Amino acid sequence: MAETEERIIRYNDAFKETLAELLRDDPDVFIAGEDVGRYGGVFQSFAGLNAEFGDERVVDTPIAEQAIIGLGIGAAAVGLRPIVDLMFMDFVMVAMDQIANQAAKMKYMFGGKATLPLTITTTGGAGLGAAAQHSQSLEAWLVHVPGLKVVFPSNPYDLKGLLVSCVRDDNPTIFTLHKAMLGSQGHVPEGLYEIPLGEARVVREGSDATVVAIGRMVSEAEKAAAALAEEGIEIEIIDPRTLMPFDIETVIKSAKKTNRIVIVHEAVRHGGIGAEIAAQIQEEAFDYLDAPIGRIAAPFAPVPFSPSLERAYVPDAASIIQGVKDALHRNG
């Protein structure tokens, strides 16, 4: 492969490759979770790892989410760097006591002397017809807990760099994959590299409005931007990449430039992360806004099983286009 040729791989393959490279790089790293071993995970996200690294480093666990997180907390507290997997983001609820009351609080309750290099991986989001109990986006729950870092990559390149940063961080991190993005493709270099947690990415520069897009909504925002550009409307797209810590400085800079903000996420609109982002923007850049901040998100209802209803439920490029046009036609 020529040095200038980009290596294109799938989102899911970037995840597997990064895990393998981390396991080879650091003997203190191990993986544990339901079906992550010989089966390779429900989405084959761990396929082949058990065969290479064995049962002691790629560990199948019982169906017991609290125990899985507890295992990770204990291992991290004594110096290992566990990666523990919760098969679906919905299962975070089962383990929330361990996550919120133990993992997130340990460093604080030991006066800052404890380190907890624990990475929790999970898959969130709708789009695969997995219905109401296996399709949720619960990042707003997690960012509300002091002590947790929450990451949501939107492409294979960021996935790899952010996952490396999570595993090497001495604090508990929650790394969310999106189920409907597992087959998406993008440029990913070989070898380990880090993307700092808490640094947003300006995906596309524009002058008419800013769209802050979370996770899979970044690709929908890019589709919307291409369509809007044909009408002479240029939007700036910001991908936060990390929801906690959140890079509000990059968003504020864009707000002062475009004077209009639209936030889009797949989670339910009411109480979603978009509300917190909007609040921070108006605290720091209210005088620069020429219109109210727009929010595009799912309705206040469980995720439908029906494919047609699910498509209507999840925001897409069309809803982003409408949200941008609404912002452009409203005055502050």
pLDDT tens digits, 136-158: 999 999 999 999 999 999 999 99
Q: How far apart are CA 129 and CA 111, in angstroms?
A: 45
Rounded average pLDDT over 241-249: 98
Rounded average pLDDT over 175-183: 96
CB–CB of 167/29 below 8 Å?
Answer: yes
| pLDDT for 2 beyond 80 | no
Confidence of residue 330 (pLDDT cuts 50, 70, 90): confident
Rounded average pLDDT over 279-299: 97
* 8-187 and 201-328: identical CATH topology: yes
**3-state secondary structure (DSSP) of residue 274:** helix
- So which residues are the catalytic ones? 65, 134
Which CATH architecture fits 8-187? 3-Layer(aba) Sandwich (3.40)
| pLDDT for 315 beyond 70 | yes
> CA angle, corner 246, sides to 100 and 160, nearest 5?
85
Whether domain 201-328 has CATH 3.30.470.20: no
Q: Could you report the per-residue pLDDT of 33-79, keeping only the tens digit for each? A: 999 999 999 999 999 999 999 999 999 999 999 999 999 999 999 99
Q: Which residues pair with 31 in a beta bridge?
A: 58, 83
Tracing tokens 């361990």 back to the chain, one arrives at: 98
Percent of the chain at pLDDT > 70 equals 98
> How much is the mean pLDDT over the chain?
96
* 280 burial via Cβ count (<10 Å: 0-12, 13-18, 19+): middle
At what angle are helices 11-25 and 156-168 packed, to 10 degrees?
30
Listed by start position, the domains of the chain span 8-187, 201-328
Rounded average pLDDT over 107-111: 94
Confidence of residue 104 (pLDDT cuts 50, 70, 90): very high
Which pLDDT does position 5 carry in this prediction?
72
Percent of the chain at pLDDT > 90 equals 97
Nearest to 274 by CA among 261, 283, 264: 264
Which pLDDT does position 4 carry in this prediction?
54
